[in-house]
Structure 1
Amino acid sequence: MADALFHGELVNANRMLYTPSEFAKQNLLYIQEIGELAAQKSHKSQRENLASYLFFIVESGHGTLQYDANLYNLAAGDCVFIDCHKPYYHESSHDLWRLRWVHFNGSTMPGIEEKYRERGGQPVLHPTQLHDFNLAWEQLFSTAQSRDHVRDMELNAELAQLMTLLLAESWHPEQRQAASKRESLDDLRTYLDEHYPERITLDQLAAKFFINKYYLTRIFKDTYGQSINQYLQEVRITHAKQLLRFTKKPIETIGLECGFKSAEYFARVFKQTEGISGRAYRKMW
């Protein structure tokens, strides 16, 4: 790890290069570089095929981002989250900007970035709670400078918190559902939470909540990132695990009580979901 204050014709930058452990590279989210800069002149920074993800905050000034064949205008209060494997550049305007940035990576990042995009997340966002993002960056910068022996684990948790903030902000305004539709979806999900032991069909849900079943299928997945059947199965498996741990009921009975049509089907789904049988899961606890 190196900590350097860089003074140049283009920028003044306080940056830290970070070398994660092999354990972190294989198992955690980890930072590669973190810093802040003040542009001294209008300039362009261009990259492609970089094994990294980039998040930055525009503290002041203006600039542009070219990414994924689109050009975005940036101003104070905007944040950027992009996959640096793709070509991109960002450029300060004559109203010179100040940025805070972090380059990071991890084996789970492709899935996280995909989930962000599935939820409607855009490369550029203007958070409602920018303060939270600044706090997240400050914590990352502070931890990266520390000599704590569990620093990589702490950075992993802090990057996960940054990703949580980004996912919470990931709905693009043009892709938000009308409030009434969102309320219907919340009611529908509550219904699934409460009626999971019953036989539930898409036709029944569409009739109960007065939504076309094809439209319902699409907006549920757009909103929650999984199909109705996937969510219902997740609820059933969660309740089955509770019964396996905290009761002595036979496994076959538990499957039927949680809405699975047969003991065999329950056994198959449980193993696919948890990687072990219901009997093995019970013995673990």
Structure 2
Amino acid sequence: MAITLFHGDLVKSNRIIYTPSAFAKANLIHLQETGELQAQQPHSSKRKGLFSYLFFVVLHGSGTLKYDGSVYSLTVGDCVFIDCRKPYAHCSSNDLWTLKWAHFYGPNMNAIYEKYMERGGQPCFHAHTLDQYHQILEQIYEIASSADYIRDMKIYEHLASLLTLLMEEGWDPLRNSFSTTKKQNLQNIKEYLDQHYQEKISLDMLADLFYVNKFYLTRVFKEQFGLSVNNYLLHVRINRAKQFLRFTTSSIEEISHACGMTDANYFSRIFKRLEGISPGEFRKRW
């Protein structure tokens, strides 16, 4: 866990970049980052392909969010709840905004967000209970910055409260962004990839194992999770490799094998494509 106060030309922020325990990452909805920022001048922040969900609330000022093909105008009291695997950009206007946010993830978050959208929830909405959102984020920040030995469980409790509040406020049976055609939920296949990334996996094997047409699997998996099966598996493997690089002295070849990629040169090429630097450079930075 690291606490950073950042002052720059664009923003002034007080944030916590949080490292959950291995237990929390595998079993709980867990915190990745939380904080508050004040824009110092109009600017845009763009990201994509993050295995994370973002919630933020506008406390002061105004701006816009570009997400999933739409542009949303945001002002005081507006909230954002999005899947960060999809590209997004948020931009402060001349009326410089202050935001309070949390990035989080978990083994069931994809299904939870899908249910939120099925119930009529929207990426952006105006809060009916702004104080509650503000209070939950404050509590998460305080716990994350503490030395409490069960802070992961306490953070999980407050993230669950946040999601419950989002479900309550997002409920609108007349508004549903999903197709009326029922599609098979592929969460079990995603979880299989999360757990068996070390093994040799192919589309044909998954199709046989889960009794699903591989062409249907290819199309619907990307619709539900924002990445193709192969790209999702690569991200899982590279994220695991980053942990090995940070916390072990294993060689690049040993790490590539441990992550299900038997060719170390191929592993290094994929790592650099996704992370922008080589495995060796990544290890030196940490």
TM class, shorter-chain normalised? 0.5 to 0.7
Q: Deviations over 1:137-186 (max 9, x none)?
A: 0110011011111111111111000000000011359639xxxxxxxxxx
Give the 3-state SS of the residue equivalent to 1:112 in structure 2. helix
| Count of aligned pairs | 178
Q: Which has the larger radius of gyration?
A: 1
CA distance in 1, matches of 2:173, 2:63: 22
Q: Does 1:154 align with 2:154?
A: yes
Structure 1, gaps ≥5 residues long: 177-217, 222-285
Aligned residue in 2 for 1:249: none
Percent identical residues: 54
CA distance in 1, matches of 2:171, 2:153: 29
Q: Does 1:82 align with 2:73?
A: no
Q: 1:125 offset after TM fit, Å?
A: 1.1
CA distance in 2, matches of 1:111, 1:2: 29
TM-score (norm 1): 0.61
CA distance in 1, matches of 2:63, 2:173: 22
CA distance in 2, matches of 1:118, 1:173: 9
Q: Deviations over 1:195-230 (max 9, x none)?
A: xxxxxxxxxxxxxxxxxxxxxxx9xx9xxxxxxxxx
- Say whether the 8 Å CA contact 2:46–2:90 is kept in structure 1: yes
Structure 1 segments of 4 or more deviating over 6 A?
none
Inter-CA distance 173–73: structure 2 relative to 1 (3 Å threshold): farther
Paired letter, 1:175 = R
Structure 2, gaps ≥5 residues long: 183-286
Give the 3-state SS of the residue equivalent to 2:149 in structure 1. coil
Aligned residue in 2 for 1:111: 111
Q: Does 1:121 align with 2:116?
A: no
1:47-196 equivalence runs, <5 A: 47-172=47-172, 175=175
CA distance in 2, matches of 1:76, 1:107: 32
- Say whether the 8 Å CA contact 2:66–2:90 is kept in structure 1: yes
- Say whether the 8 Å CA contact 2:119–2:173 is kept in structure 1: no
Give the 3-state SS of the residue equivalent to 1:107 in structure 2. coil
- Say whether the 8 Å CA contact 1:11–1:39 is kept in structure 2: yes
Give the 3-state SS of the residue equivalent to 1:9 in structure 2. coil
Inter-CA distance 145–163: structure 2 relative to 1 (3 Å threshold): same
TM-score (norm 2): 0.60
Paired letter, 2:46 = Q
Paired letter, 1:41 = Q
Paired letter, 1:161 = S
Aligned residue in 2 for 1:234: none
Aligned residue in 2 for 1:196: none
Paired letter, 2:125 = L
Paired letter, 1:90 = H
Inter-CA distance 131–76: structure 2 relative to 1 (3 Å threshold): same
Paired letter, 1:56 = F
Aligned residue in 1 for 2:17: 17
Give the 3-state SS of the residue equivalent to 1:80 in structure 2. strand
CA distance in 2, matches of 1:2, 1:153: 19
Give the 3-state SS of the residue equivalent to 1:122 in structure 2. coil
